[in-house]
Amino acid sequence: MKINITPSNDKGQPDRYWEYYYDNGQLEYKGNYINGSKDGLWEWYYNNGQLAFKGNYINGKVDGYWEWYYYDGQPYSKGFYINGQEGGLWELYCHNGKVESKQYHI
């Protein structure tokens, strides 16, 4: 039986911890809402259960360190967001795990 945990506040906005699942029962994503805005660590998964990407939100904006992964779990990209914008060092990886490029965003 597939169960999605999707609590809401008294205004009907998403609130607190959420989980959502694929039809095959694998976790699709999880994270926290505060009064309708994503806040804190969020994680998304491929339908095979492998982590696809994860990162932080503050008041609904991407903020902080983020990581993306290939379907098989190898790293794809890593970097930082500052108040919703790419900032700082970003690394892109080849499928074999070697760094393909590094970029610094201001």
Q: What is the pLDDT along the chain (106 residues), one digit of tens a residue?
A: 455 667 788 888 888 899 999 999 999 999 999 999 999 999 999 999 999 999 999 999 999 999 999 999 999 999 999 989 999 999 999 999 899 999 998 8
67 vs 65: CA distance, rounded Å:
7
| pTM assigned to the model | 0.87
Each domain of the chain, given as residue ranges in start order, spans 16-105
For 13-66, the DSSP string reads -B-EEEEEE-TTS-EEEEEEEETTEE-EEEEEE-TTS-EEEEEEEETTEEEEEE
The topology (CATH level 3) of 16-105 is: Outer Surface Protein A; domain 3 (3.90.930)
Contact 42, 54 (CB under 8 A): yes
* Selection from 55, 95, 90 nearest residue 75 by Cα: 95
